[in-house]
Structure 1
Amino acid sequence: MTLVHEAVGGSPDAARAALAAARAARSAELDRWLAGLLAAERVPRPDPGEPPEGVALVAVGSHARRELTPGGDLDLVLLHRGRDDVAELADRVWYPVWDAGLRLDHSVRTLHEARTVARSDLKAVLGLLSARRITGDPTLVDEVRAAVLADWRADARLRLAELAEMTRGRWESQGELAFLLEPDLKEARGGLRDVHVMQAVAASWVASAPGPRVRAAHDLLLDIRHALHEATGRSPDKLVLQEQDAVATRLGMLDAGVLSRSIAEAARTVTYAADHLWHRVERFCAPRRAPSRARGVERTPVGDGAVEQEGEVVLARGADLDDPALTLRVAAAAAQAGLPLAPATVERLAERAALPPVPWPAGTRDALVALLGAGPAAIGVWEALDQAGLVVRLLPDWERVRNRPQRNPVHRFTVDRHLVETAAGAAALTREVARPDLLLVGALLHDIGKGWPGDHSVGGAVVARDLGTRMGFADGDVRVLETLVRHHLLLPETATRRDIDDPATVETVIAAVSAVPGRERELIELLAALAVADGLATGPAAWGAWKAGLIAELARRAIARLAGGTPPPPPLLPPEQLALARHDGAAVRIAGSRITVAAPDRPGLLWRAAGVLALHRLVVRNARVSSPSSGAAATAVLDFTAVPEYGTPPDPAALEADLRRMLADRLDVAHRLERRARSVRPRAGVAVPPPRVTIVDDASSTATVVEVRAHDRPGLLWRIGQALGECGLQVRGAQVDTLGAEAVDVFYVVDADGRPLIEPAALSAVRLHVLGALKDDGAR
């Protein structure tokens, strides 16, 4: 027979249309030829050209799907109803196929044999699920397909678990198609095989069939594989570097770079859909729980506007789609809970949710930081937003790096995925810096300049400045972000190429960070943490113990050269709060998210007030605590900014009443909080870095300064304050800030006599006690 091997080119649409037509023609030609082979009889029959009775020739695999590329293998099954001459019939087909030089995978089965093999051989059943009759007894083919499909559905819980294990093994051995320099278009994760597996899962009725975006991605990968076979005259599935330009030309693409970007986009579309499919399969295959007496689907709040439903995060019924922070806040809630966003929810957000104005409101910026701060759990959620086009709508400059290949064996990922991986890695280093929000956003943007011509560090600094302004950061913070991106390679390159024992080397670092006066130490800490996250996200060839040690030592020497960098002093009260502090007795004011309490100073006032806020499901975003007077009649002013954990804000009158009851010692805050905690079902969430408690030396001559860096959670301030109170300490001043999902809190404390702690043993005991109170925060 004659096979179709026609070179294609021209526009991408025309080239791909020609490839699809070639596959269709080849499939039709093969069908006619194979049908004729089976129909040829040595002994003439009344109806020559008809196949023998009780037998059928069936195609499985790519030929069954009419996707056979020029070098693809034929996979045929000869079905029969117990014919004695079936071996002779098989020889009529197999030998001419071999003589034509085609590779052939073949088998001969009765209905019973086909059904038995399908129940024990996973590859066999996957083939038979897509079987297509070429010629012969149609009833026999229908019976086989119906029997195999019935068994597949009846045994779905067992067979899908087996299929999941086989698929994971294939992913581990083949890698991820979107990020490979020389990918296997068929077997790698996100490749053609995954779409075929998704179709098999859909046949079990456990999940839906692949949608139009996945089918379009599959067709593009199939066309690329076809062009590869045409270009090489062979049948490889691996697209090696030296063949990529030729394949791009046959597809009408500009060059190999455009080809690689197209592959990455298609593969990520397939991977995203497959991840959600396997999430459903995993829940289906899990041991069944006893049926609940509760009616309807269980919905558990995981954040403001977000609830968990069937293992995914969906919008709460009262979610405000006009809220410009909703999209990122729901995404952050999903990532912090370690759950995927439901695809329907992502589509609804993309279609209807409001975009934030420029500059972004603080709530939108905090939601972005909370999303990135979830670490590796943020990657899948970010991918969901990206697949829906939301990332580019939020950050227009993202389009230039989206799916951009690095074409460098050192890098494991495309540029955009590398940025997200770096930010996820930086989440583990948030305890190392005073501004975790700038670290996370800087990590997300550090290579953003790779979408622009010229030095990516220089171009990226300009983009980072624009995006930092767009996100609503203060001018000083924007300058830090710009400098962080401009010099993100400063420490790695200086540490590995210069003599760090030379004083001029440290001066080089100091000169670079002096672009933001007064924040030099902060910048060095950020650069050091970013270097670690960047190196780890790049790949093993870019990072190692030797390089890590050099960078850490260079950063230590630069910080030592700068010295200083103590926490801020206790805040000064504005005039309106000074007036409130002079109020006779106690005063409580609630104005939206701003809650101010002025009362006679006494031990435990801070943590009890914070506990009342936690009882009303309020999360403290920042707080300032100060005592403008001293002595027996001292008055403390507690100024909180707090937002609802989820849902609507509490009734201001009820909140004020509970705060006044607390001040009058008529509310047992600890008992109420413990009772509430017992009623809440614990959830796994994501792994976060362990909390860090530091006693800052020489930061104050009148108080001991305790700095706490921890993952934010409801009641955190209450737990810290209670632990300080249990140590016999009183808070004279505090500066509490929540940056995304990270808390950076500084407390100025004194002992019962109003003096700072001095003894090392006492200081160590305080530090360990506060850590003990937060011991569960590193393994949520």
Structure 2
Amino acid sequence: MPRITSQRAIINRRSVLARLGALALDDLPRNRRRSRVLDLFKQVLAEGRAEIRRRFDQSGDGSLTVRESCFLIDQLVRLIHDFAAENEFPPGVRTLGETMTLVAVGGYGRGELAPHSDVDLLFLLPYKRTPYHEQMVEFILYMLWDLGLKVGQSTRSAEECIRGAKEDLTVRTALLEMRWLWGDQDLFAELQNRYRAEVMSNSGVEFIESKLTERDTRHAQMGDSRYVLEPNVKEGKGGLRDLHTLFWIARDMYGVAGIDELAEAGIISAQAASHFAKDQAFLWTVRCHLHYLTDRPEDRLTFDVQPEIAQRMQYVDRAGSRGVERFMKHYFLIAKDVGDLTRLVCALVEERHRRKPRRLPFRRLFSRRTMLDGFVQEGGRLDVAAPDQFETDPGAMIRLFHAALENDVDIHPRALELIHRNLKRIGSTLRFDPNANRLFVEMLTSRKNPEVALRHMNEAGVLGRFLPDFGRVVAQMQYDMYHVFTVDEHTLQALGILHSIESGDLAEEAPAASEVIHQISSRKALYVATFLHDIAKGRGGDHSQIGADVALKLGPRLGLTDEETETVSWLVRHHLAFTRVAFKRDIDDSKTIQDFVALVQSPERLRLLLCLTVADIRAVGPTVWNAWKAGLLRELYQRTLEVMTGGLAGLAHSTRVKAAQDALRVELLRQGWPLTDIETHLARGYPGYWTGCDTATQSRHAHLVRAAEDSGAPLTVEPRVDAQRAVTEMVVYTGDHPGLFSQIAGAMAVSGANIVDAKIITLTNGMALDTFFVQDSEGAPFDSPAKLNRLANTIEQVLSGRLRLAQELASRKGNLPSRAHVFKVPPRVLVDNKPSRSHTVIEINGRDRPGLLYDITSAMTQLGLQISSAHISTYGERVVDVFYVKDVFGHKVEHERKLERIRVTLLAALKEQNSTDPKTRAAE
């Protein structure tokens, strides 16, 4: 535990007492005296905090800072108590019933206070409150509150404390860390002795199970992954609260004051205790930086504070990685280490209660011992057959995970601890051992969900040691607002999703992939490619190309044939191709399909690439995958396959158009539509519309169009909240005209709606049926009734010319959420005539901001461009918008001077309010 040096520089108790004594001698009214006393305490608190902050800025030691903060508050509370007892409520003749003890509980009791943490106090009374108690408690609390401190307080007798501890887990946990602060020590000793005798000795198992259940619930609420990219340092998985939980369990089981005492008693290794101390010191340092930087009790490590904290903790940029990425990687490795400590303590819990078979909740864990694949199976868990098994046979570490997966059993925490101690034995000999690689590939391609085994291997540190290329992406963050997980976590989730696709669990969400995955011949290549698709992230350059080279190197080592190795390498090189074409190109354009066929070349590769793409997208984050993207991928797959298998794309496409129309016809008939109305509506859609939307969406459109046509309304706006995707779908039906897209985009920007996706549809009756997917500035659905009404009114005012967009938007620019300002995306405009025979394709990349889409599309209108198709994609802070345009005469733009003018004009529109960064960013 860090020792506090030069304590008087933080607070000089003698000096403060002298000043308080002088104030007490002044003949002042009570209210005025209290005011001057408060001013003195404010000065003392401010000076103490400034000294602690100065020391922190100098040393960067958060574990010392929380001790010093606790020391400062201890002294203040004692001084306030004594001043009140001696001057405000003089003692006189005091009975034993008027004694009182101040007890620090919770984190404060543990002796740890972050700069903006709450101060948890227990006013411990002999048996009942007296007027004196009430006066003292009130004076102390109001003084602390007036000092600006956040105080959690309770006033109880020992009997009430014991009763509360038995009934309430929160009370029991707070008292577990109680610390005498000031007042009657005998009263505190009585509470402490009763707590040990009546609470701790009677419900150890129940307490431990409750704390572990509480931890699991907290993890679920925080995202249930230690690799979310904006982690909560206190409550998140692998954070401080997990270390506190370990401390509570150890204290309850062994009565120790600190984890170091477990090591001194030989219960855990000195190495484990050292890891606990280092992890806690790192997390406390990060939390202190967070509190100081934000000047509030902030515990979430958001994107906007990560670079500054990384700089303050002296993480500098290096080749291939930024300082903030190195800082976050260290954070995630610490979180992983906390997980290792959790498993170790759980093993101790089981060992402790192995010797107490009367504890029924644990009895089921200790059934008979059997041998399984060279390991001991006991209570449904695999353990080592001998303590030195991994020392004498490092390959047993690989076999252990293989046996656990194949036999559907867990691995004992003790075995995982032994693995951790022997990781250095995984060297080149084991890495190139044919049997070890065979077992690894069997796990990677297992029908029993490879994510389970590989996640355990990764958590234990084995995966990164056995495959150093994977070790480079362990805890590697992807510093943007699009990716939710670190690279290794994303990869493992992708494998789990691929398994779910194969097992049919995602047949409704991803029907095409769920069907074709059973038609592939190269199953092994698919799983290996999924494992390797992001293996080169963070190395600089094109991670797809570098990853393909890594695959060529690893294939032979993993026992893949030359054909399998080449297939894996091709899939890694082109794992982004499906999304680039499906989401950024017009698949109704025949040349788009022809170019994609030329790239993919075979139906087998097409099927493999589709499955890999679906798994990759779904593993990015919980809200990224949606039915629209599923439909685009499915349509691209089907059209490409038709060309590959006979060139009947036109016939097959018309067949799908007819099938879609028939499905809608059946649905509308079921809803009671007259057949004549149905046929009228079916005639409104061009072929691309019928293959681009599902029946449910087309049914909603049909009702909207019918109602609008019957009423003669010039404009119809229909919102629909999609809570699962956290977006609001806005369908706009109005007469089509040049600049319409730009006007609608501007109206949405004025209303505070952020467009994250859009689809333009023009019907045969000359009406536009445009769909916009929008969110508010916080990334939540734009769902307030007042906001939606305002949005509809704004669109109507803009289209009628009553609202001047340029002036309205000018007042709103710069209101980008602070988190997005962190990210620098170099603006880029690509104008290309090769992807389409009939249109010029414009691709725009840049950092998202309010009104960006309006600026871009209004610039296109001024250039005389007609937008035929728009593909709007938002990847966190980055937008990739693709437009298929023609000139005013309905032709491609081919004159070089005109093309250059388009580039310059759009780049100017894109750069507005967009600071550039000389460093190029990696592809998604």
How high is the TM-score relative to the length of structure 2?
A: 0.54
Aligned CA-pair RMSD: 3.9
Matched to 2:577, the amino acid is L
Q: CA deviation at 1:134?
A: 1.5
Matched, 1:328 2:375: no
- Between 1:317-326 and 1:81-90, the stretch displaced more is 317-326
Q: CA deviation at 1:281?
A: 7.4
Task: Note if contact 2:107-2:177 (Cα within 8 Å) is conserved in structure 1.
Answer: no
Match of 1:407 in 2: 479
2:313 to 251, 260, 272: 251
Matched, 1:314 2:314: no
Matches within 5 A, 1:363-442: 363-373=435-445, 378-379=450-451, 381-429=453-501, 432=518, 433-442=520-529
Q: What CA distance in whole angstroms lies between the structure 1 residues aligned with 2:169 and 2:245? A: 11
**Residues 164-217 of structure 1: per-residue CA shift (max 9 Å, x gap):** 444333223222463334332212232222222222223342998884424422
Matched to 2:405, the amino acid is A
Task: Note if contact 1:178-1:265 (Cα within 8 Å) is conserved in structure 2.
Answer: no
Q: 1:503 to 1:329 in 2, by over 3 A?
A: farther
**Residues 233-283 of structure 1: per-residue CA shift (max 9 Å, x gap):** 222222333222332233233343333223222223324544676798799
2:168 to 121, 136, 155: 121
Q: What CA distance in whole angstroms lies between the structure 1 residues aligned with 2:622 and 2:462? A: 31
Match of 2:606 in 1: 524
Matches within 5 A, 1:486-501: 486-500=573-587
Q: What CA distance in whole angstroms lies between the structure 1 residues aligned with 2:49 and 2:392? A: 56
Q: CA deviation at 1:47?
A: 13
1:90 to 119, 122, 137: 137
**Residues 78-99 of structure 1: per-residue CA shift (max 9 Å, x gap):** 2132363322332343232123
1:32 to 67, 75, 99: 75
Matched to 1:367, the amino acid is L
> Which SS does the other structure have where 1:105 is aligned?
strand
Match of 2:621 in 1: 539
Q: 1:351 to 1:79 in 2, by over 3 A?
A: closer
Matches within 5 A, 1:36-185: 36-40=79-83, 41-42=85-86, 54-82=99-127, 84=130, 85-150=132-197, 151-176=199-224, 178-185=226-233
- Between 1:462-471 and 1:373-382, the stretch displaced more is 373-382
Match of 1:481 in 2: 568
Q: What CA distance in whole angstroms lies between the structure 2 residues aligned with 1:513 and 1:327? A: 39
Specify every segment of 5 or more residues in structure 2 that has no aligned partner in the other structure, as ranges: 1-43, 255-261, 317-322, 503-516, 647-924
Q: CA deviation at 1:222?
A: 1.5
How high is the TM-score relative to the length of structure 1?
A: 0.63
Q: CA deviation at 1:71?
A: 1.1
Task: Note if contact 1:53-1:136 (Cα within 8 Å) is conserved in structure 2.
Answer: no
Q: What CA distance in whole angstroms lies between the structure 1 residues aligned with 2:449 and 2:122? A: 45
> Which SS does the other structure have where 2:289 is aligned?
helix
Q: CA deviation at 1:390?
A: 2.4
2:246 to 184, 198, 202: 198
- Between 1:155-164 and 1:30-39, the stretch displaced more is 155-164
Q: 1:20 to 1:200 in 2, by over 3 A?
A: closer
Q: What CA distance in whole angstroms lies between the structure 2 residues aligned with 1:418 and 1:148? A: 46
Matched to 2:498, the amino acid is A
> Which SS does the other structure have where 1:178 is aligned?
coil
**Residues 708-754 of structure 1: per-residue CA shift (max 9 Å, x gap):** xxxxxxxxxxxxxxxxxxxxxxxxxxxxxxxxxxxxxxxxxxxxxxx
Matched, 1:305 2:392: no
Q: CA deviation at 1:118?
A: 1.2
**Residues 305-361 of structure 1: per-residue CA shift (max 9 Å, x gap):** 334323432234596866564322211222344444333323434555554648734
Match of 2:41 in 1: none
Q: 1:243 to 1:320 in 2, by over 3 A?
A: closer
Q: 1:116 to 1:417 in 2, by over 3 A?
A: same
Q: 1:263 to 1:355 in 2, by over 3 A?
A: closer
Task: Note if contact 1:11-1:251 (Cα within 8 Å) is conserved in structure 2.
Answer: no
Matched to 1:203, the amino acid is R
Q: 1:288 to 1:377 in 2, by over 3 A?
A: farther
Q: 1:290 to 1:398 in 2, by over 3 A?
A: closer
Q: 1:338 to 1:191 in 2, by over 3 A?
A: farther
- Between 1:356-365 and 1:433-442, the stretch displaced more is 356-365
> Which SS does the other structure have where 1:241 is aligned?
coil
Match of 1:223 in 2: 285
Matched to 2:436, the amino acid is T
2:554 to 464, 467, 474: 467
Q: 1:299 to 1:546 in 2, by over 3 A?
A: farther
Q: What CA distance in whole angstroms lies between the structure 1 residues aligned with 2:308 and 2:55? A: 13
Q: CA deviation at 1:376?
A: 8.7
Match of 1:343 in 2: 413
Match of 1:452 in 2: 539
Q: CA deviation at 1:426?
A: 2.0
> Which SS does the other structure have where 1:253 is aligned?
coil
Q: 1:10 to 1:122 in 2, by over 3 A?
A: closer
Q: CA deviation at 1:442?
A: 1.1
Question: RCO higher in 1 or 2 (8 Å CA, sep ≥ 6)?
Answer: 1
Q: What CA distance in whole angstroms lies between the structure 1 residues aligned with 2:56 and 2:187? A: 45
Q: CA deviation at 1:77?
A: 0.8
Sequence identity of aligned pairs in percent?
28
Q: What CA distance in whole angstroms lies between the structure 2 residues aligned with 1:374 and 1:346? A: 22
Matched to 1:27, the amino acid is C
Matched, 1:443 2:513: no
**Residues 126-182 of structure 1: per-residue CA shift (max 9 Å, x gap):** 111011111233343233233334414412444444444443332232224633343
Q: What CA distance in whole angstroms lies between the structure 2 residues aligned with 1:336 and 1:110? A: 57
**Residues 621-657 of structure 1: per-residue CA shift (max 9 Å, x gap):** xxxxxxxxxxxxxxxxxxxxxxxxxxxxxxxxxxxxx
Task: Note if contact 2:344-2:417 (Cα within 8 Å) is conserved in structure 1.
Answer: no
Task: Note if contact 1:53-1:137 (Cα within 8 Å) is conserved in structure 2.
Answer: no
Task: Note if contact 1:8-1:250 (Cα within 8 Å) is conserved in structure 2.
Answer: no
> Which SS does the other structure have where 1:71 is aligned?
coil
Q: What CA distance in whole angstroms lies between the structure 1 residues aligned with 2:144 and 2:56? A: 35
> Which SS does the other structure have where 2:237 is aligned?
coil
Paired residues, number: 552
- Between 1:322-331 and 1:131-140, the stretch displaced more is 322-331
Matched to 1:213, the amino acid is H
Q: CA deviation at 1:54?
A: 4.5
**Residues 47-94 of structure 1: per-residue CA shift (max 9 Å, x gap):** 99xx99853211112222222111111111121323633223323432
> Which SS does the other structure have where 2:411 is aligned?
coil
**Residues 543-562 of structure 1: per-residue CA shift (max 9 Å, x gap):** 22332343344445545555
Task: Note if contact 1:35-1:135 (Cα within 8 Å) is conserved in structure 2.
Answer: yes
Q: 1:555 to 1:6 in 2, by over 3 A?
A: farther
Task: Note if contact 2:222-2:236 (Cα within 8 Å) is conserved in structure 1.
Answer: yes
Q: 1:299 to 1:550 in 2, by over 3 A?
A: farther
Q: What CA distance in whole angstroms lies between the structure 2 residues aligned with 1:136 and 1:101? A: 24
